[in-house]
Structure formats: structure tokens, C-alpha cells
Amino acid sequence: MAALLEVTGVSRSFLQGGRRISVLSDLSFSLEAGRRLTVTGRSGSGKSTLLNLLAGLDRPDAGSIRWQLSGRAWDPATLDERERTAFRRRHLGFVFQFFNLVPTLTARENVALMAELNGLDDAMERARQRLLRLGLDDRMDAFPETLSGGEQQRVAIARALVHEPAVVLADEPTGNLDRETGDAVFAELISVLAEEQRALVLVTHDPELALGGDGHLALGTRA
């Protein structure tokens, strides 16, 4: 069976102050369904750039990115804008360092919104189930600013999973939480993903989290 994700010879550079900076150079790796790939590297090594490429928010200068989802192959770079948005919305879940919840929506509405965008029935009920699973029974109707960081990240995880994507892309998901809270939230994320057989691409600075994956990609190790 084909891998969930196949990255082959991907390069990306940026123009900065008239100079071309090579950020990713001839990068190749693959990810199987339900597995966890951790991505590490110093600041500026291209971790977020890589996630943007995987999500089709940016295009590689060279190489290919091939997802195998719902029985077909997807290369975000070959899709038009509308198809790329639909691909992202349907197949990927995102968790960010700074939670990125909509401040004017309650926890439950934040989660339901993603289900609604995917045209799913019972968005509010799906959101409730997701939040219950993450222990937020009492905080469903709270607005983000009244939630702790750990609670906000649990809501963000519920939102990333409510439309049942095959893979979650997480950029420093515990980077803004204290050690204890970060560990607890991360353990819950891993537990839900394992239960549901969803894959994870995890960008992290945390050496402990980096060791736990099925595969590990260290960016920017060249001189």
C-alpha cells in the first residue's frame, strides 16, 4: 500500500534582502497512515515552511509532495486555489502554538465551525462529543479568553479532529504551555490519535517529544 505521504526531493528557498536563502534542500521522507513523524531543528531551519508546503499553503521550488487520501493521490501544488482549500479543510487538522481560536465564538462553536465548513451534519453535537473526550465538559460555552492555555489547546485539538482528518499537522503545540500542562495536553493528543489511527506531523523544540515518534526529521543540520 502507498504511504500516506511521500515527499521527494523537495527544495524551497526565499529571497531575503536581495539574497536567495535556501531553507529546505532536496528533502525526502515518507509517512505511513496512523504514524507520527517529529520534525526538529533550530529556529529558522524551515519547520513551519515544511508544514506550509505539506498543507499546500506554499509551493516547493523543486520536488513533489504526494498525499494518499480517500483512495486518491493529491499533490497540493497541482491543485487550483479552490481545490487546495477543499483539500486542506477536508483532510488535514491543524494545531498551532498560539491556539488560534476565534475569540468571538465559544469553545463549542469554535469546534463546530470546522465541522460546518466540511458540511457535516450535527456540527454542534460532534463538537460536544469532541470536547467531552478532552475533558472540557464544563467549559463548552466559555469564550477563549476565559480559558486557560491548556484548555484553549484542548479546544484547538478538538477542532483539529472534529472532521476526522487522516492527519494532523502540529506546529509547536506545547510551546506556549508550562511543562506539566504541555505534557498532559500532548498525552491526550497522542491518545486520541492512536485510538483513531490518525497520523501526526509534529514540529517541536522539545527533545523528549521529538524522541517519541515513529520517525524523526532533523532540519538544518548542514553547516
Ligand X SMILES: Nc1ncnc2c1ncn2[C@@H]1O[C@H](COP(=O)(O)OP(=O)(O)OP(=O)(O)O)[C@@H](O)[C@H]1O
CA distances from 40 to 55, 109, 159 (A): 18, 33, 24
Q: Which stretch binds ligand X (CB under 6 A): 36-44, 67-75, 188-196, 207-215?
A: 36-44
Of 171, 176, 129, 169, the residue nearest 151 (C-alpha): 176
How many other CB atoms are there within 10 angstroms of residue 63's CB atom?
18
Residue 121, C-beta contacts closer than 8 angstroms, at least 6 positions apart = none
The DSSP call for residue 60 is -
Q: How far is the CB of 30 from Mg ion (least distance, A)?
A: 22
The option from ligand X, Mg ion, none interacting with 174 (CB < 5 to 8 A, set by class) reads none
Angle at the Cα of 90 (from 142 to 51), degrees rounded to 5?
85
Q: Which does 44 bind (CB under 5 to 8 A by kind): ligand X, Mg ion, none?
A: ligand X
* Residue 45 beta carbon to ligand X: minimum distance, rounded to whole angstroms: 4
Residue 49 found at the interface with ligand X (CB under 6 A): yes
Site for Mg ion in 34-53 (CB under 5 A): 47-48
Q: Is 41 in the site for ligand X (CB under 6 A)?
A: yes
**Among 10, 27, 31, 46, which residue interacts with ligand X (rule: CB under 6 A)?**
46
Task: Report in angstroms how near the CB of residue 2 gets to ligand X at its nearest.
Answer: 27
Write the single-letter amino acid at 132: L
Binding range to ligand X, per CB under 6 A, among 16-24, 85-93, 152-160, 194-202: 16-24
Min dist CB 81 to Mg ion, Å, is 24
C-alpha R_g of the chain: 17
Count of chain residues binding ligand X (CB under 6 A): 12
Nearest residue (CB) to ligand X, 133 versus 216:
216
Q: Is 204 in the site for Mg ion (CB under 5 A)?
A: no
Concatenating the DSSP letter of every residue in 178-210 gives -HHHHHHHHHHHHHHHHHHT-EEEEE-S-HHHH
Q: Taking the CA atoms of 110, 114, 117 and 123 in sequence, report the sign of the dihedral they define.
A: negative
- Residue 218 dihedral angles phi and psi, to the nearest 5°: -105, 115
Any contact of residue 201 with ligand X (CB under 6 A)?
no
Closest to Mg ion by CB, 38 vs 106, is 38
CB of 34 to Mg ion, least distance (A): 25
Q: Which residues bind Mg ion (CB under 5 A)?
A: 47-48
Q: Which residues bind ligand X (CB under 6 A)?
A: 14, 16, 21, 23, 41, 43-49
